[in-house]
Amino acid sequence: MIKLVAALSLAALVAGCSGVDPNSPAGKRHAAYEKVGAANKALGKVFEAPTPDLAAAAEPIATLKAQAAVLPSLFPAGSGPESGQKTEALPAIWSDPAGFSTAMNNFTGAVAKLDAAHAAGDLAATKAAAADLGKTCKACHTKYRKKD
């Protein structure tokens, strides 16, 4: 158990999650986006295969759905850089709430589309929806996430 905890905190350090209270909104965002990032990667792998296995997409899609359900609530006022927590969230999130909300809705909408296409067993539509989802990550990061 102690070993597991050590391994987990090491993983957190490697992922750049140090310097943040895991219970703060910023800490919860880091954790949520780490899962989103991993699920998105796993999804990319599924569709890189010569013969994509739709069943293998089920788990990453379930993760994306779960995170899409909580992420919109993880940006309360005051949880930006001024919170003192380590965060890559830009002040524009709060100064441009309509723009940010559109970017968030595009993301949650893309996840819903992906989920529906997958549930219908439609390989081509699922692949296309996964590609569309990727565009929503980029669109939001460009405007609302600090670059290193």
Q: Is 89 in the site for ligand HEC (CB under 6 A)?
A: yes
| Residue 35 CB-density burial (10 A; 0-12 exposed, 13-18 middle, 19+ buried) | middle
> Residue 145: beta bridge partners?
89
CA separation for the pair 98, 47 (Å, rounded): 33
CA-wise closest residue to 72 among 116, 29, 115: 29
Part in contact with ligand HEC (CB under 6 A); list of ranges 34-42, 52-60, 113-121, 122-130: 34-42
Over the window 106 to 125, marking each residue x when it contacts ligand HEC by CB under 6 A and - when it does not, the resulting string is -x------------------
User: Where does this chain bind ligand HEC (CB under 6 A)?
Assistant: 15-17, 26, 29-30, 33-34, 36-37, 40, 87-89, 103-104, 107, 133, 136-137, 140-141, 144-145
What residues are designated binding site for heme c?
A: 137, 140-141
